Structure 1
Amino acid sequence: MTEFPTSAKTIVIGGGIIGCSTAYHLAKLGVECVLLERKKLTSGTTFHAAGLVGQLRSNANITQLLGYSVDLYNSIEQETGLGTGWKMNGGLRLACNQDRWTEVKRQATTAHSFGLEMQLLTPQEALDLWPLMNIDDVIGAAFMPTDGQANPSDITQALAKGARMAGAQIYEDTKVIDLEIKEGKICAVITEQGRIECEKVICCAGQWTRNFAARFGVNVPLVPMEHQYMVTEPINGVPANLPTLRDPDRLTYYKEEVGGLVMGGYEPNPIPWATKGIPRGFHYSLLDSNFDHFEQLVELSLGRVPALEYAGIKTLTNGPESFTPDGNFIIGEAPELANFFVGAGFNAFGIAAGGGAGMALAEWVHKGEPPFDLWSADIRRFGRPHFDSDWIRTRTIEAYGKHYTMDWPHEENRSGRPCRKSPLYEILKDQGACFGEKLGWERPNWFADVALNETPQDQYSFGRPNWFNAVGREHHAARNSAVLFDQTSFAKFALKGPDALEALNWIAANNVDRPIGTLTYTQMLNDRGGIECDLTVGRVAEDEFYIVTGTGFATHDFDWIRRNIPVGSNCQLFDITSSNAVLSLMGPRARDILTAVTRDDVSNEGFQFGTLRTIGIAGCPVQALRITYVGELGWELHLPVEYATTVYTALMQAGQSHGLINAGYRAIESLRLEKGYRAWGADIGPDHTPVEAGLGWAVKLRTNIDFKGRDAIQTQKTQGVNKLLACFTSDPDVVLLGRETIFRNGERVGWLSSGGYGHTVGKSIGYGYIRAEGGVSAEYVASGEYELEVATKRVPCKVHLQPLYDPAMNKVKT
């Protein structure tokens, strides 16, 4: 062992598979790296992981990340000379009812969209691959040949050896006891062996990560949960190349182990662990086996694998695993502390994600950004509710219990609700609101009509769900009369100071140097031109801007703006989300209604589109923004929360004669699809530029103002692009949800980023990028013939590059 270091550029805390993979990839990038493990490598939770490696997820980039793990595991043994137990023996997933079979077929299409091979099998074909199972209730199965299994400890040791071979230093029995932070910057890591100066820290400490990070103000929402699996003695008929098996309708999974089977699962009533803190000295430790709790999974498994009834049981392993409130892992730079990175909360698929997550973290640390958009796993997806351990635990218990339940479209969480409420919550609830939740906020998704015997409760389906007609009713009201949306949950920021304009014009792709009272729709770009934020900016004073963005992006967008304010700029950013309620009045009768409640001039000449000003409604000062996300005349009315019920009542009373009704977020989605408005996190994001997304008009290239990402956009404007966002329409009986495969002239060219139904055009609508290495232009898009693969079947569709609905022309394009 070399002498204990006194400095290193980057410190990795934690010697499980994520930490060792991160150190391996950092060293490969030439980054000076030291890994510190408080006890022994793998001694936290890695050593007792089950070791199944599946690749398919609902997000293309997470799937790509897991695919990278498989590629790495295929090569690391040869590189290091250490065995890993890696076997690419494929993975089976069963379907035992029609809804599950639909889900599996949609998963197969998602796999095809992302370039993975997934085969649909008959029950007999599945039995041929997995001869021990009973197939009496099996309708079909999916098989992914490139899935497999690994020995978690062995693969971690191989990554550690590879890291050392590339120059990383690894120290076991070296507990990190503190970080040294001066003026908001990490200066050093303090260990039991001494102090190590460093610039960056990557915390991959598994279930210990939350408490450690919290000491420095960093929030990592994860919860240790008990997770059990049993290992049998050898069973006749178990071949060494037996595929892994997931039987979600019976909540169980299986893999081969030395001629026997490993069987585990995800029970609906999981047990959180260490609710009062992880015991001191916990390493290479397991929990007491809980046979009574595991019995429910055994009973389910016997119906699938009858041989288990007579198999000898070697062990029932009970070990804690880190789970998160939404079932996805946590990765990225903490918004609360610069140069503090996190890789934790892997929800029992840390072995599958380990190779790719380590690669992504290393790239993020080395280059200042991830290799591709990882928003669904980004630490900045969390917000205020996720600071409370009790709320996190409640939601995580639900997420664990739903690990193998049906992945219904539009499914909402039930636990930890209500948490954050608009002042109108009870009023809207009494009027039939069926609420959804985002970042803790209760938001009306749709409104039930009691006169039509509708109940404000979601009934999920892969077809048209029970709220379809209600959403259609709200949609048509928005197009023909008026609706009122409660959008209080919008994230709202104030940027103030003498340098606010200069700073914001550097961060924003569009020009915000406009008169006071002007609104600017803009993206904020990374250096590759990718869209990091998509928001509205209102200039309310010479030195002050009001910024509005989506509910779920509050932490992310605030962090992006704050980090990119030029050093030395005299301006400050404030989160004022909770100060203002928002009522969005939209529809062709919106002006009539607003005129009835205010003395201010809201005529087209007096209150033009893209402007904002303060008006009075029922004695309340209201910041009115004339803007729309649904494609109709309308205003977002931003007002102090204490006035919300007063203004709401005034609007509803004035709107009675104009057909005004309440409407929810699912109508917003239907309306925006028809109008072609993009959704960040789906249609646009860090991997998509405004040029590719058809938003080049919102970029200030015609000015001489420099802005972040300008060079990349200028290059694309000159050289062209390899993908373009397009709209696709198909027959109304085709249900589009997103991730359906796009075929152009019979060749796969992409997948849908979002999907839904347009109640005005009477068609199913999807958006997705058409890709081609040789370049994609509007002419290229228009010249092709297109099909969509939906649940493994191809259906014809039409392509569009212009909005389907144009209210100015009162025209629907089909």
Structure 2
Amino acid sequence: MQPRVVIIGAGIVGTALADEITARGWTDVTVTDRGPLFRTGGSTSHAPGLVFQTNPSKTMAELARYTVEKFSGLGAFDTVGGLEVATTPERWTDLHRRHGWATSWGIPSRLLDPEECARLHPLLDRERILGGFHTPTDGLALAVRAAEKQAQRAIDRGARFLGYCEVVDIVHREGRVRGVHTADGQDLPADIVISAAGFWGAELGRRVGLTVPLVPMAHQFAKTVQVPALDGEERLPILRHQDADLYYRTYGDRIGIGYYGHTPRPVDMDNLLRDTAGEPMPSMLPFIESEFEPAWAESVRLLPALGDSKIDEGFDGIFSFTPDGGPILGEHRDLDGFWVAEAVWVTHSAGVARAVAEWIVTGTPDIDLHEADLHRFEDAARSPEFIRRTSVQAFVEVYDILHPHQYRTEPRNVRTSPFHPRQCELEAYFFEGALWERPAWYEANAGLMEELAADGVEFPPRDDWSSRFHSQISIAEAKWTRTHVALYDMTPLTRYEVSGPGALGFLQELTTNDIAKKPGAVTYTLLLDARGGIRSDLTVARLGGQLFQVGANGPLDFDWFTRRLPGDGSVTLRDITGGTCCVGVWGPQARELVQPLCADDLSHKAFGYFKALRTYLGSIPVTMLRVSYVGELGWEIYTTAEYGAALWDLLWAAGREYRAIAAGRIAFNSLRLEKGYRSWGTDMTTEHTPDMAGLGFAVRMNKHSFLGKRALEAADPPARLLRSIVLDDPHAVVLGKEPVSVDGTPAGYVTSAGYSATIGRTIAYAWLPASVQPGDRVEIAYLTQVFGATVHTEPVVDPDMSLIRR
């Protein structure tokens, strides 16, 4: 029997969902909307429809590309092309970076000089621009037409659409959706309810105890009167002038202008109907002309023909912003059958609908969605204050040039390890990640640079872009780790305690490696989805017969485990991250530092690699794991938070004899690249199988069963592989997402990179065709330069792994 599906919202997302779900054979679908069909009064109804596919996120770019393809097939897309212009040197460099993204993701594009830009868009003042970025397959989505066309296809398959039918409550019993209740007293039964209500989605979520982290924001859009220079027949490309927070499109002989440079205006949903009274629809606020004056003045400078025109009409349209700019997709953890597809722009709407429909119908999306998953946020990031402040900042930064290593500036100091005061004393420079303060490097180590330089260590200069959020001190920290010993704060590493009589079986079924080892064993393993894609990589330490510590990657892992807990109570899952802390002590002198503090034998014979030991350092109870993400002798040393400061002080005092240092995240990243260690979410995602990512060693196909095993058994040999590449020029640096060419043809892209103090070159990971082998030459396009590189065997440093096993 087919599930009954109710979709709340008949805008661009709800109609696309109805189309995609019915296309997969589920036809008992009802779509409701509080407004008329299909100009419902939501964000879709006033959307200007500009679709620029290029995005730093591969996922978002693919969602946009599908939207273009689908809308084009529906006759609801005008392929006029996209043009982004630079009026500053910084933006011109950034357009090179955007061109790199487009090349990496397979989107046709080219960089233009001012004359070429003016030929594409004759209204431009070519003297004001330095160049442009042209994407010929971008264009205008006819949003209401696309919604109606998709709805009609769904209706033809059996779906029904109800206008003026506002859902006021979600009916549920015993943890499962049962239907919806409408304002006119109807009860619509349902097995699955999908909230695609746009900026009303957060209100709906609250009714079922779900935080949907979005903020409705007002955005200015205006139309001119007739522009004499336009004849109404010209098909000018959509245009972005991001240096001034502006975009443009034509409406015949008029021009529409969108502006992000005004004061952010979060919408008060409690007073929405009052504030929009008298406007054409409830998603439109009154136009504030004074806020738009800078936009008009700059528009006349860029497009002088507007000097013969004026603004005819305008409005402040409402749509959703989120803390990180991504959509909010997924199922309520505590209410089976309640799904959300919110904060989705027209640009990505059809792609999102396809992925969510696949997710609902088959259980697994056909594209990696970790950047858009509802459950990606930490607890503190679901607070009203955090959601509001960061979503407002996301609005401010829409057209800003954002560095890939740029971190959030507010709020800060929300999560700190017990070592934080000591790190401040060492003048740590902190990055923020998942609300943790993470030392990137320590100014206290600056003196090491001169000492190491005298020993021949190179500290090559960097270009302006790559030197941001970076310090050459990190090179010294990485080198010191390889030659002496260093302390790394590993507290932000997510960790769970899994316990109970069913714990072993639970982990065995969900992970790829064999966890059924004696207590004291540590196992590197993977979580796969049903398609065999890598959802996460884990380090599982068996601390007792029924007790495991699991090193994971973040909230998505907790959600994955929680949904699969057995219903008999035989497994207990706890997130112990905040109540514990961890120091990584690594380097050739790590044993000399730690052994005098411990009564147990820490020799390699007694305490081998990938083993765990619960013991004491001094008076401090600790759990030591003989693992090393930096590829050196040493341990991850865990204790509970109340002992954290004492543990740091104990290790620091013992380390003075060996000139131990504290080292930061940049050195850490460099060292893990030397040793061939992957980073989930950056180097690999659900779109990659273990063999593709070079992690086949973490899979035991002789296990009776594990999630994803069938997919691996049926998989073809990988067509693409994750490869280590080493850049030729010791001064060359790449940062990630740059296109990689083989024999002059774009063939892949960089995932992550770091400068290796050991070999004096940048090492990067890149996805490349399987035919590309170690020793082959490749080229990487970085901003305005092209760097040569060679595919290298792994690991690049210490291939026999002798450093770890000392």
CA deviations on 1:656-701 (whole Å, 9 max, x unpaired) are: 1212111121211111111110110111111111111111111112
Shift of 1:532: 0.9
Q: Indicate which of 22, 33, 39 corresponds to 2:29.
A: 33
Q: Is the 8 A contact 1:631 1:807 kept in 2?
A: no
Change (3 A) 1:460 1:402: farther
Change (3 A) 1:438 1:298: same
Shift of 1:809: 6.4
Supply the distance in 2 between the matched residues of 1:10 and 1:466 (Cα, whole angstroms). 48
For the pair 1:360 / 2:358, whether they are aligned, the reply is: no
Q: Indicate which of 479, 484, 494 corresponds to 1:491.
A: 494
1:81 equivalent in structure 2: none
For the pair 1:230 / 2:225, whether they are aligned, the reply is: no
The number of aligned residues is: 781
Question: Tell me, what secondary structure is at the counterpart of 1:303?
Answer: helix
- Tell me the percent identity: 32
- TM-score between the two structures when normalised by the length of structure 1: 0.92
Q: Is the 8 A contact 2:364 2:531 kept in 1?
A: no
Q: Which amino acid is the alignment partner of residue 94 of structure 2?
A: E
1:657 equivalent in structure 2: 657
Change (3 A) 1:576 1:183: farther
What are the residue-to-residue correspondences of 1:446-457 with 2, within 5 Å? 446-449=441-444
Q: Indicate which of 59, 67, 88 corresponds to 2:79.
A: 88
Shift of 1:807: 7.7
Supply the distance in 1 between the matched residues of 2:603 and 2:775 (Cα, whole angstroms). 43
1:411 equivalent in structure 2: 406
Q: Which amino acid is the alignment partner of residue 707 of structure 1?
A: F
Shift of 1:423: 2.2
2:235 equivalent in structure 1: 241
Question: Tell me, what secondary structure is at the counterpart of 2:10?
Answer: coil
Q: Indicate which of 188, 195, 199 corresponds to 2:187.
A: 195
Question: Tell me, what secondary structure is at the counterpart of 1:376?
Answer: coil
CA deviations on 1:400-445 (whole Å, 9 max, x unpaired) are: 1111111213111112112222222233123211111122222112
- TM-score between the two structures when normalised by the length of structure 2: 0.92
Q: Is the 8 A contact 1:224 1:321 kept in 2?
A: yes
Q: Indicate which of 334, 337, 340 corresponds to 1:339.
A: 337
Q: Is the 8 A contact 1:432 1:450 kept in 2?
A: no
1:117 equivalent in structure 2: 108
Q: Is the 8 A contact 2:242 2:400 kept in 1?
A: yes
Shift of 1:617: 2.3
Supply the distance in 1 between the matched residues of 2:551 and 2:422 (Cα, whole angstroms). 25
2:268 equivalent in structure 1: 274
Q: Indicate which of 256, 272, 282 corresponds to 1:262.
A: 256
Supply the distance in 2 between the matched residues of 1:654 and 1:99 (Cα, whole angstroms). 48
Q: Which amino acid is the alignment partner of residue 513 of structure 1?
A: A
Question: Tell me, what secondary structure is at the counterpart of 2:122?
Answer: coil
Question: Tell me, what secondary structure is at the counterpart of 1:468?
Answer: coil
Q: Which amino acid is the alignment partner of residue 726 of structure 1?
A: R
Q: Indicate which of 440, 461, 465 corresponds to 2:435.
A: 440
Q: Indicate which of 194, 210, 234 corresponds to 1:218.
A: 210
What are the residue-to-residue correspondences of 1:364-383 with 2, within 5 Å? 364-383=359-378
Q: Is the 8 A contact 1:497 1:570 kept in 2?
A: yes
Shift of 1:21: 1.0
For the pair 1:726 / 2:726, whether they are aligned, the reply is: no
Q: Which amino acid is the alignment partner of residue 68 of structure 2?
A: V
Q: Is the 8 A contact 1:753 1:767 kept in 2?
A: yes
Q: Is the 8 A contact 1:180 1:189 kept in 2?
A: yes
Q: Is the 8 A contact 1:477 1:659 kept in 2?
A: no
The CA RMSD measured in Å over matched residues stands at: 2.4
Q: Is the 8 A contact 1:593 1:654 kept in 2?
A: yes
Q: Indicate which of 790, 798, 804 corresponds to 1:806.
A: 798
Supply the distance in 2 between the matched residues of 1:124 and 1:513 (Cα, whole angstroms). 67
Q: Indicate which of 198, 201, 206 corresponds to 1:206.
A: 198
2:520 equivalent in structure 1: 517
Q: Indicate which of 149, 156, 178 corresponds to 1:158.
A: 149
Q: Which amino acid is the alignment partner of residue 34 of structure 1?
A: T
1:589 equivalent in structure 2: 589
Shift of 1:60: 2.1
Shift of 1:279: 4.5
Q: Indicate which of 280, 299, 302 corresponds to 1:301.
A: 299
Shift of 1:450: 8.4
More off after superposition, 209-218 vs 629-638: 209-218
2:453 equivalent in structure 1: none
1:132 equivalent in structure 2: 123
Supply the distance in 2 between the matched residues of 1:533 and 1:68 (Cα, whole angstroms). 26
CA deviations on 1:551-579 (whole Å, 9 max, x unpaired) are: xx2x2001112223456572122222211
Shift of 1:76: 1.1
Question: Tell me, what secondary structure is at the counterpart of 1:102?
Answer: helix
1:474 equivalent in structure 2: 477
Q: Which amino acid is the alignment partner of residue 197 of structure 2?
A: A
More off after superposition, 803-812 vs 200-209: 803-812
In the alignment, structure 1 segments of 5+ residues that lack a partner are 1-6, 78-83
Q: Which amino acid is the alignment partner of residue 700 of structure 1?
A: R
What are the residue-to-residue correspondences of 1:333-732 with 2, within 5 Å? 333-346=331-344, 350-449=345-444, 461-465=464-468, 467-550=470-553, 553=554, 555-565=555-565, 570-701=570-701, 703-716=702-715, 719-730=716-727, 731-732=729-730
What are the residue-to-residue correspondences of 1:759-778 with 2, within 5 Å? 759-771=757-769, 776=770
Supply the distance in 1 between the matched residues of 2:743 and 2:190 (Cα, whole angstroms). 54
Change (3 A) 1:739 1:689: same
Supply the distance in 1 between the matched residues of 2:87 and 2:384 (Cα, whole angstroms). 37
For the pair 1:287 / 2:282, whether they are aligned, the reply is: no
Change (3 A) 1:8 1:122: same
CA deviations on 1:257-308 (whole Å, 9 max, x unpaired) are: 2311111222274122217664489754421222222223333333212333
More off after superposition, 159-168 vs 493-502: 159-168
Q: Is the 8 A contact 1:497 1:543 kept in 2?
A: yes
Q: Is the 8 A contact 2:670 2:753 kept in 1?
A: no
Q: Is the 8 A contact 1:94 1:140 kept in 2?
A: yes
Shift of 1:22: 0.8
In the alignment, structure 2 segments of 5+ residues that lack a partner are 450-461
CA deviations on 1:156-205 (whole Å, 9 max, x unpaired) are: 22222222123211111112122222222222222234222222111111
Shift of 1:596: 3.2
Supply the distance in 2 between the matched residues of 1:167 and 1:792 (Cα, whole angstroms). 53
Q: Is the 8 A contact 1:181 1:188 kept in 2?
A: yes
More off after superposition, 22-31 vs 746-755: 746-755
Supply the distance in 1 between the matched residues of 2:444 and 2:72 (Cα, whole angstroms). 57
Q: Is the 8 A contact 1:180 1:186 kept in 2?
A: yes
Change (3 A) 1:177 1:275: closer
